[in-house]
């Protein structure tokens, strides 16, 4: 079973025959297309209430279900959010029918509806009802009584690679200190061309540079600073690389980019399939159509990657829903999975492609495997694919959430990027305990000391500056806090890395001191250590801030480099080898002379430690054309070029694998004086 999450009020989107054929709810007045809807009334767009058309001539009779997305919204008084009505056809395709379906709310006076926009007017719980022909869907809007006092954007700053996307979260703090997710209620604006942000809060990296993102809810706003790195995408990989699917099965593919700065990250890509055996959606979901092999390609940033998808000629045998039985307290969201078994014995996850339904939508609602417990009772959840189905039995107890507890009770985290995972457990009125870590709203009282993640990273605390900070977890009006200490713990040991290195005389290399902690963490503490090298005549090591641990070879031999941190110390050997020849040059670089003249030439060496000298006698000298110019070494120290006859020759000196040349031009001029 996956992690549970709290749903504060009844929230579901189910398809059923309308109980009220007149199309009204709570006696609300019906609004006409393009007009404003009264609070608690019906708002329509593109047609009158009860219109049976959708999507430019598509009739409502072509649809088999209707859903309200999102089905549950929390809105402070005076704020608005957009909702969408999505209709599904029998073949699984969908259409946005927000502009043609009708939307009403009850009780009166809590909400104002205008097309797909919902505005909170007064505190309370309002039920939304959507209708399209004979189809109906429902949802809930909760309006807290406490006023919205501040906003925060998470993350407040980040760095992205080209093509990357990042989910932004807008958190609102109410006057009663509760924190709610207001991402769907926020309006985003961007300053700078590096990023764009869509209505769902996803930031997309467009070009290198900086952008400031502003999120606004009502009269309040908050900003974040984001950088798109100039690093280019150098390679693209598709995961998984070789999936195997039965006919009718799907597989979500991901494009993973490698950037020129060495980082990797998932990126948005353009997808295509090289065979009709497999079709692929714009989001990278591959559908097995017929037996065969298809090469699916992802393209981004001028590069591409592929996955080889094999489609097996297998048929669906059975569908299993897991867990098969589940008991939940009310207003809890959990996830079910649908597993398919195929005729060749293989199994696969079909949660996303199965059609889900609930035998009691008022007790348990289900959408794409996500179940929400709405009230006490029981329901059978069915997942169907083609003509095969599986079921799970869900029971909802009448228990209510009464308290939260964060664990561990006194967490510590290392500063400057250290992390610690917190969890929050909910206690219900029947004394049952439920892990609510992933779905609580987490916040930090001082983000400069520590930040805390939400959703999939719920409860993950990242240390900033040293100090003590309160971290809070809340679900609706119920919340709790814990004091997090951002401190540097004492390591068990340190080591110098890399160990036992060799460096040439005059050259340098950086050594690092790595601390090992009791929890298995490893941290670079080079700048906190005191460094020494003995004997100093062979090697030295820097103790200057910013360059601590940088060792330099002085002369041939072996030295010991030591790092000391408090009572801990570590050392390694550093072998200093003789300098190597780095460059060979000759002088003069060119020579022009008459026949019969002897000219002196020299070769000079430059070594890796910066030293150098004359190596004429130690060099090997050759002429490319001895008939024009000959070269000879005299007394193992001097070198001379003899001009023999008119023409051109190249004289080359070689030493220790390096060489340098000069060009000799011999003229026909005769010596006259």
Structure confidence at residue 92 (pLDDT):
66
Position 3 pLDDT exceeds 60: no
The two tokens of residue 427 are 């206690």
The two tokens of residue 584 are 């060979």
Position 32 pLDDT exceeds 60: no
Which one has a higher pLDDT value, 41 or 392?
392
Structure confidence at residue 14 (pLDDT):
32
What does the mean pLDDT of the chain come to? 83
The two tokens of residue 647 are 């023409």
Which one has a higher pLDDT value, 210 or 435?
210
Position 623 pLDDT exceeds 90: yes
> What is the band of 18 on the pLDDT scale with cuts at 50, 70, 90?
very low
Using one digit for the tens of pLDDT, what is the confidence trace for 331-375? Answer: 777 889 999 998 888 888 888 888 888 888 777 878 888 888 777
> What is the band of 60 on the pLDDT scale with cuts at 50, 70, 90?
low
Torsions phi, psi of 475, nearest 5? -135, 105
Which stretch of 64-68, 251-255, 628-632 has the lowest confidence by average pLDDT?
64-68
What DSSP letter does each residue of 336-381 carry, written as one string?
-EEEEEETTS-EEE-TTTSEEEES-TTTEEEETTEEEE-SSEEEEE
Unique residue bearing structure tokens 């979901």: 285
Position 40 pLDDT exceeds 50: no
The two tokens of residue 448 are 């400069």
Instruction: Give the long-range contacts of residues 198-201, CB within 8 A, separation 24 or more.
Output: 199/82, 201/167, 201/168, 201/169, 201/170
Structure confidence at residue 609 (pLDDT):
67
CA atoms of 196 and 201, how far apart (whole Å): 10
Using one digit for the tens of pLDDT, what is the confidence trace for 643-657? Answer: 999 999 999 999 888
Q: Report how far apart, in Å, the C-alpha atoms of 114 and of each of 20, 83, 104, 111, 186 are.
A: 22, 11, 10, 10, 17
Which stretch of 44-53, 279-288, 461-470 has the lowest confidence by average pLDDT?
44-53
Asked whether 254 and 267 are in contact (CB, 8 A), the reply is: no
Average pLDDT for 212-241: 91
Position 35 pLDDT exceeds 50: no
> What is the band of 28 on the pLDDT scale with cuts at 50, 70, 90?
very low
Average pLDDT for 219-235: 90
Using one digit for the tens of pLDDT, what is the confidence trace for 100-121? Answer: 888 998 888 899 998 889 999 9
For the chain, what percent of residues have pLDDT higher than 90?
33
> What is the band of 11 on the pLDDT scale with cuts at 50, 70, 90?
very low
> What is the band of 596 on the pLDDT scale with cuts at 50, 70, 90?
confident
**Closest C-alpha to 387, from 299, 448, 445, 317:** 317
């Amino acid at each position: 079973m996956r992690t549970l999450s709290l749903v504060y009020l009844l929230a579901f989107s189910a398809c059923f025959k309308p109980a009220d054929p007149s199309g009204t709810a709570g006696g609300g007045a019906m609004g006409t297309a393009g007009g404003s809807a009264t609070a608690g009334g019906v708002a329509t767009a593109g047609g009158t209430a009860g219109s049976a058309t959708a999507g430019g001539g598509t009739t409502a009779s072509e649809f088999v279900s209707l859903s309200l997305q999102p089905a549950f919204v929390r809105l402070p008084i005076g704020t608005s959010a957009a909702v969408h009505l999505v209709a599904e056809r029998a073949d699984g395709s969908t259409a946005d029918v927000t502009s043609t379906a009708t939307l009403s709310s009850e009780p009166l006076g809590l909400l104002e509806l205008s097309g797909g926009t919902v505005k909170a007017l007064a505190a309370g719980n309002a039920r939304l009802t959507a209708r399209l022909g004979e189809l109906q869907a429902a949802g809930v809007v909760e309006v807290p009584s406490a006023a919205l006092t501040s906003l925060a954007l998470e993350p407040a700053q980040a760095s992205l690679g080209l093509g990357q996307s990042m989910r932004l979260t807008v958190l609102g703090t109410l006057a009663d200190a509760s924190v709610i997710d207001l991402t769907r209620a926020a309006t985003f604006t961007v300053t700078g061309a590096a990023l764009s942000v869509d209505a769902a809060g996803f930031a997309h990296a467009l070009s290198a540079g900086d952008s400031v993102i502003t999120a606004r809810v009502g009269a309040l706003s908050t900003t974040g600073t984001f950088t798109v790195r100039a690093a280019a995408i150098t390679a693209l990989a598709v995961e998984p690389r070789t999936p195997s699917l039965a006919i009718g099965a799907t597989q979500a593919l991901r494009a993973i980019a490698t950037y020129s700065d060495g980082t990797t990250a998932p990126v948005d890509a353009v997808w295509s399939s090289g065979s009709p055996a497999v079709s692929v959606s714009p989001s990278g979901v591959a559908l097995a159509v017929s037996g065969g092999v298809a090469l699916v390609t992802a393209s981004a940033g001028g590069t591409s990657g592929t996955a080889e998808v094999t489609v097996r000629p297998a048929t669906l045998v059975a569908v299993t829903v897991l867990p098969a039985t589940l008991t939940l307290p009310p207003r809890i969201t959990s996830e079910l999975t649908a597993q398919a078994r195929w005729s060749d014995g293989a199994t696969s996850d079909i949660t996303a492609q199965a059609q889900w339904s609930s035998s009691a939508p008022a007790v348990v609602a289900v959408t794409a495997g996500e179940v929400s417990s709405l009230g006490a009772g029981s329901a059978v959840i069915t997942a169907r694919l083609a003509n095969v189905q599986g079921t799970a039995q869900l029971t909802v107890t009448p228990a209510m959430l009464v308290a939260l507890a964060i664990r561990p009770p006194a967490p510590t985290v290392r500063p400057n990027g250290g992390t610690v995972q917190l969890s929050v457990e909910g206690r219900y009125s029947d004394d049952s305990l439920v892990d609510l870590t992933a779905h609580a709203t987490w916040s930090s009282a001082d983000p400069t000391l520590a930040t805390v993640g939400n959703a999939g990273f719920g409860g993950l605390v990242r240390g900033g500056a040293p100090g003590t900070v309160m971290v809070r977890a809340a679900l609706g009006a119920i919340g709790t806090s814990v004091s997090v200490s951002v401190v540097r713990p004492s390591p068990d040991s340190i080591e110098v890395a890399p160990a036992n290195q060799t460096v040439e005389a005059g050259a340098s290399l950086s050594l690092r001191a790595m601390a090992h902690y009791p929890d298995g963490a490893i941290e670079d503490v080079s700048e906190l250590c005191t460094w020494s090298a003995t004997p100093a005549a062979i090697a030295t090591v820097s103790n200057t801030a910013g360059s601590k641990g940088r060792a330099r070879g002085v002369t041939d031999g072996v030295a010991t480099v030591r790092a000391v941190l408090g009572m801990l110390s570590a050392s390694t050997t550093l072998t200093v080898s003789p300098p190597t020849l780095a460059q060979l040059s000759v002088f003069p670089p060119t020579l022009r002379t008459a026949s019969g003249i002897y000219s002196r030439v020299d070769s000079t060496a430059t070594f890796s430690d910066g030293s150098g000298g004359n190596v004429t006698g130690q060099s090997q000298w050759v002429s490319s054309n001895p008939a024009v110019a000959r070269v000879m070494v005299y007394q193992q120290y001097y070198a001379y070029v003899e001009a023999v006859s008119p023409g051109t020759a190249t004289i080359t000196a070689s030493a220790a694998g390096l060489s340098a040349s000069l060009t000799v031009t011999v003229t026909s001029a005769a010596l006259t004086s």
